[in-house]
Structure 1
Amino acid sequence: MLRDQIKQETITAMKAGDKPRTAALRLIGAKLKDRDIELRTSTQPAPDDDALVIDVLQKMAKQRRESITMFQQGGRDELAANEQAELVVIEDFLPRQLDETETRAAIEAIKGELGATGLKDMGKVMAELKARHGTVLDLGRASGWVKDSLA
């Protein structure tokens, strides 16, 4: 399981004295605990543990990418470097993401199966795309490609 792997990597990083990696792994662990607490009070059924971990990691990666862009635009390269180091650690645990070509092919396949023809069908296509490829796909970028495909 991915959660166990993260715990083991944290221990390994602590023993190796790798402070930046240890800090990033502890941050991941804290986010996972926060999500677990949210799910305890939620009325929705809990997702598969690996799917939950991947979802948390994807959100963390997205936040880091946005922060890196903002820090670079603001001339804060040292903060951007810290965020980049955390992003590298986070991406170590994410499955390989589909590239643009693979994503567009998946969109076209789903579009054909559902008979989607216009922007009114975008919700259906996005829901199916998320159900099939949610863990290996950046849905933010994919939504733009779905919109282009249906326009």
Structure 2
Amino acid sequence: MKALIQRVCSASVDISGERVGEIGPGIMLLLGVEKTDSESQADKLLDKVLAYRIFSDEDGKMNLNLQQVGGGLLVVSQFTLVADTRKGLRPSFSSGATPEQGERLYDYFVEQARARHAEVATGRFAAEMQVGLVNDGPVTFLLETN
């Protein structure tokens, strides 16, 4: 399972001109699910996302996590994140989860996030989405479970 996280001033997701998810300051998370992923890996990834120290303290050091700053979390499914791009000029998605497995684990991740964090917004699984964000820093990290 992979999560590309970005520290944002704000982020939003629109589908067909309708705003379906939006946060102010916090983390915009693109979630990619691979066929070998499980609920246990989703739990580990969520633990890391919520505790990852990417927000500045009073000294300007990245010492605070999402829960400490009370930021929002916007979770967007992103199957292209699991693409193998090492060879050729076309990405391979052979390691990606099936749509059914991907949706199940995406929904599980979001459900667990909502149980543990106050502000969680989402996109819509497998939808054609327009994602907007103001990256703060810029600060971007790729988190993976294996």
Q: Which protein has the larger Cα radius of gyration, Structure 1 or Structure 2?
A: 1
Higher strand fraction (1 or 2) = 2
Higher relative contact order (CA 8 A, sep 6+): 2
Give the alignment's TM-score, normalised by structure 1.
0.31
Higher helix fraction (1 or 2) = 1
